[in-house]
Amino acid sequence: MPGGDAREAVKTVTGSFEDFPFLPELPARGPGADMIGRTAGMLVELYARVEPSGWRIGDRPGRDTKRARSWLGEDLDALEEYTQGYQGPLKVQAVGPWTLAAHLELRNGEAALSDPGACRDLAASLAEGLRLHLAEVSRRVPGARLVLQLDEPSLTDVLRGRVRSASGYRTHRAVDRQLVESVLRDVFGAHGAGPVVVHSCAPDVPFALLRRAGAQAVSFDLSLLTERDDETIGEAVESGTRLFTGVVPGTDGPLSDPAGSVMGVRTLWRRLGLRPDLLAEAVTVTPACGLAGASPQYARAAYAHCVRAARSLADNPE
């Protein structure tokens, strides 16, 4: 979300999505509120600090870790205030293990991705941190059924060996797909039997791998799909995987009519030969990616537009 006022952000979210609110992130507040820093603050027995090149693992919790945890606490306070008596699904999100490994640096300045042992330690720390975070949200909003979203925009680059080294002159070796899948499965386990969504607004989202790892839903930018994705998406839907289809732009601009926004979803459905009556139970309408770069006015309009577009899809699946 844009801006830096936690209470205003939560008020907007709970007002826009009465049936599926979420805990907002406000990266405009600075280091520790950004995507990587916020999740680094959740880690257990691993700490990170800000360096000119980015977030780097350190020996002890410093001011950057404390700032990240303070802002998260502020957000949770606001969420608790505006969800009194709420019962229903509630989404919380964090960075997934592979995107975190691609962006967190070791002491030598290289990405944690360069060291298999560091990747294992990072994933284990993240899983424990997520367990504690989910327990805290459940304590504050006892009627909520938590949905965990893991953001993995760098996952495809990890799989294809496209993450650049600190020097920028080479790339880190591609990680074995079975290892990627196994680590994801372990981190998903932090939520027990609860639903997990994996989000990536990058091209070539590995739908089949995520489904095998246990993701119940995949969130993606619909405009980046190609017909070569059809088979894996069709298999995912038929196996019960929910699609969070990003159809509303994440930055300011004109919004089409709600029915026009989901035209691509209907086209995909016809191309896959899927039953129209599956749409309402298989698809959630979302922005294409985060709205941190949008104006507050546009963010509110985009959320309202998502609700209207979803209603259009449910009322007229054909």
The structural domain count of the chain equals 1
Whether 58 is covered by a domain: the verdict is no
Whether 67 is covered by a domain: the verdict is no
Domain that holds residue 224: 6-26+78-315
Whether 59 is covered by a domain: the verdict is no
Whether 180 is covered by a domain: the verdict is yes
Q: 């799989």: which residue's tokens?
A: 159
The answer to whether the CB of 78 falls within 8 A of the CB of 6 is yes
Per-residue CA distances from 289 to 15, 40, 199, 240, 294 (Å):
20, 21, 9, 23, 11
The answer to whether the CB of 289 falls within 8 A of the CB of 201 is yes
What does the pLDDT profile of the chain (318 residues) look like in tens digits?
999 999 999 999 999 999 999 999 999 999 999 999 999 999 999 999 999 999 999 888 889 999 999 999 999 999 999 999 999 999 999 999 999 999 999 999 999 999 999 999 999 999 999 999 999 999 999 999 999 999 999 999 999 999 999 888 899 999 999 999 999 999 999 999 899 999 999 999 999 999 999 999 999 999 999 888 999 999 999 999 999 999 999 999 999 899 999 999 999 999 999 999 889 889 999 999 999 999 999 999 999 999 999 999 999 887
**This prediction's pTM:** 0.95
Whether 309 is covered by a domain: the verdict is yes
pLDDT for 94 = 98
Residue 301's CB is within 10 A of a number of other CB atoms, namely 16
Q: Using alpha carbons, select from 111, 116, 218, 118 the residue that is nearest to residue 168.
A: 111
- The CATH number for 245's domain is 3.20.20.210
Whether 226 is covered by a domain: the verdict is yes
Whether 69 is covered by a domain: the verdict is no
| Token representation of residue 246 | 């990003």
